[in-house]
């Protein structure tokens, strides 16, 4: 199969022929039809993720067709259209037994713990626990955005954040997960303040329902600006980027008894990030984390997508070939495209060889 692979952290990745994967007894191999390019892939490529071993194939937001099935899999067969949460759960640990597969104690994440979906094929573990059937009318590109960013935002806003109609919700960082959060919070009846430094990202946030758009580069103190716009602070605030500055701004922009949800990853040299805890005490703030969403929670979200209440398809602003993926991965930090970029591994660049036969 063709796949994007890197041998050393931060060195340019390249597209190469690699052996096709085969399924574990409890797993499947999926033919990848679309896979999202996420900031977490960039973190992995830069060496920020201790779970990665080299050489490595990134990619964790995918949708495709089941190609091969392990002998112990009962729910899936070749030809099924599927997606998968980026946290693949074991199905048998105490967290899984409690229904919290998103924090499974023996989780495997495609594109981190093993080779991922920037490839024509990807192997996925514990298929009966983790695969999600796609509605017939959902495009693969739309579905690819669900597995990490949209589902993560859904859980962060609805489940962990407990959003309520009429509340003020601040979203710091309007990349893929932030824009998803804006859309989901607005659809929940909340008034959303979108915060970013990119005019293009804020324009998309406005289109997805943000009531207020705050250019963080244009104000000395984004948290103070959020407090002013919301009449005293947001009820719920998300750091959807993941940086010491956005984390602090999110916490400091809350009103009394507000809820902060940390969604963006927070890599740092010493592994810890300063958080304004004094304010959390004085204002009785809740500080929450959010980590993907279990497969069993997808149907509720998919219903809202099918009825048009949520439009993850609008997040997909760019579709590229596998050959264009290494450069797009490298540009994630310095020149990220607004919205979600989706890679179609089976689409060839103009003039290249035709599609391989399906199935
Ligand atoms: Zn588990
Ligand atoms: Zn991701």
User: Are 111 and 57 in contact, with CB atoms under 8 Å apart?
Assistant: yes
User: What's the chain's average pLDDT?
Assistant: 93
Instruction: Compute, in angstroms, the gap from residue 130 CA to the centroid of ligand 1.
Output: 11
Q: How many CA atoms lie within 13 A of 24 on its CB side?
A: 12
For residue 292, the ligand closest to its alpha carbon is: 2
What number is the average pLDDT over the span 95-106? 98
For residue 264, the ligand closest to its alpha carbon is: 2
User: Are 268 and 240 in contact, with CB atoms under 8 Å apart?
Assistant: no
User: When comparing pLDDT for 351 and 19, which is higher?
Assistant: 19
User: Are 191 and 169 in contact, with CB atoms under 8 Å apart?
Assistant: yes
Question: CA-CA distances (angstroms) from residue 204 to 41, 162, 337?
Answer: 22, 24, 12
pLDDT, residue 291, reads: 94
* pLDDT tier, 39 (very low <50, low <70, confident <90, very high otherwise): confident
Domains of the chain: 2-148+293-344 (3.90.180.10), 162-289 (3.40.50.720)
What number is the average pLDDT over the span 305-317? 92
Instruction: Compute, in angstroms, the gap from residue 92 CA to the centroid of ligand 2.
Output: 24
Helix runs in 234-289, H state only = 244-252, 277-282
What number is the average pLDDT over the span 9-27? 97
What number is the average pLDDT over the span 10-15? 96
* pLDDT tier, 157 (very low <50, low <70, confident <90, very high otherwise): very high
141: helix, strand or coil? helix
Report the alpha-carbon distance of residue 117 to residue 120 in Å, rounded.
7
pLDDT of 198 strictly over 80: yes
Instruction: Compute, in angstroms, the gap from residue 103 CA to the centroid of ligand 1.
Output: 7
pLDDT, residue 277, reads: 94
For residue 341, the ligand closest to its alpha carbon is: 2
Report strand pairing: 28-37 vs 340-344: antiparallel
Instruction: Compute, in angstroms, the gap from residue 113 CA to the centroid of ligand 1.
Output: 15
98-102: long-range contacts (C-beta < 8 A, 24 or more apart)?
99/294, 99/296, 100/294, 101/129, 101/130, 101/294, 101/295, 101/296, 102/155, 102/291, 102/292, 102/293, 102/294
Instruction: Compute, in angstroms, the gap from residue 228 CA to the centroid of ligand 2.
Output: 32
pLDDT > 90 fraction of the chain, expressed in percent and rounded: 86
Instruction: Compute, in angstroms, the gap from residue 97 CA to the centroid of ligand 1.
Output: 7
Instruction: Compute, in angstroms, the gap from residue 302 CA to the centroid of ligand 1.
Output: 23
pLDDT of 358 strictly over 50: no
pLDDT of 156 strictly over 90: yes
pLDDT, residue 236, reads: 98
Report the alpha-carbon distance of residue 12 to residue 63 in Å, rounded.
25
Instruction: Compute, in angstroms, the gap from residue 35 CA to the centroid of ligand 2.
Output: 10
**Which residues have C-beta within 8 Å of that of residue 282, sequence separation ≥ 6?**
none
What number is the average pLDDT over the span 211-227? 97
For residue 92, the ligand closest to its alpha carbon is: 1
Instruction: Compute, in angstroms, the gap from residue 61 CA to the centroid of ligand 2.
Output: 6
pLDDT, residue 139, reads: 94
pLDDT of 218 strictly over 90: yes
User: Are 295 and 155 in contact, with CB atoms under 8 Å apart?
Assistant: no
């Amino acid at each position: 199969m063709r796949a994007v692979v890197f041998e050393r952290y931060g060195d340019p990745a390249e597209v190469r022929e690699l052996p096709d994967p085969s399924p574990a007894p409890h797993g499947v191999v999926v033919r990848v039809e679309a896979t999202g390019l996420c900031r977490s892939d960039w973190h992995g490529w830069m060496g920020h993720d201790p779970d990665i071993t080299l050489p490595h194939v990134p990619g964790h937001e995918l949708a495709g067709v089941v190609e091969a099935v392990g002998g112990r899999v009962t729910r899936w067969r070749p030809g099924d259209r599927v997606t998968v949460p980026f946290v693949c759960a074991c199905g048998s640990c105490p967290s899984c037994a409690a229904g919290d597969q998103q924090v499974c104690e023996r989780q495997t994440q495609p594109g981190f713990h093993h080779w991922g979906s920037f490839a024509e094929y990807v192997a996925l573990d514990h298929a009966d626990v983790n695969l999600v059937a796609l509605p017939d009318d959902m495009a693969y590109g739309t579905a690819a955005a669900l597995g990490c960013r949209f589902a993560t935002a859904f859980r962060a806003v609805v489940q962990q954040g407990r959003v309520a109609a009429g509340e003020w919700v601040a979203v710091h960082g309007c990349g893929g997960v932030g824009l998803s959060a804006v859309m989901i919070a607005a659809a929940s009846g909340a008034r959303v303040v979108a915060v970013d430094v990119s005019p293009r990202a804020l324009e998309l946030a406005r289109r997805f329902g943000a009531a207020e758009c705050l250019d963080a580069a244009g104000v000395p103190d984004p948290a103070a600006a959020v407090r002013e716009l919301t009449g005293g602070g947001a009820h719920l605030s998300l750091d959807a980027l993941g940086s010491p500055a956005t984390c602090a701004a999110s916490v400091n922009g809350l009103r009394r008894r507000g809820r902060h949800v940390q969604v963006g990853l927070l890599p740092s040299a010493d592994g810890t990030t300063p958080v304004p805890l004094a304010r959390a005490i004085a204002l009785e703030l809740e500080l929450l984390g959010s980590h993907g969403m279990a497969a069993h929670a997808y149907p509720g979200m998919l219903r809202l997508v099918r009825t048009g209440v949520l439009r993850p398809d609008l997040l997909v602003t760019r579709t590229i070939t596998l050959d264009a993926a290494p450069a797009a991965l490298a540009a994630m930090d310095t020149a990220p495209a607004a919205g979600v970029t989706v890679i179609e591994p089976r689409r060839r660049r103009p003039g290249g060889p035709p599609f391989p036969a399906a199935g």
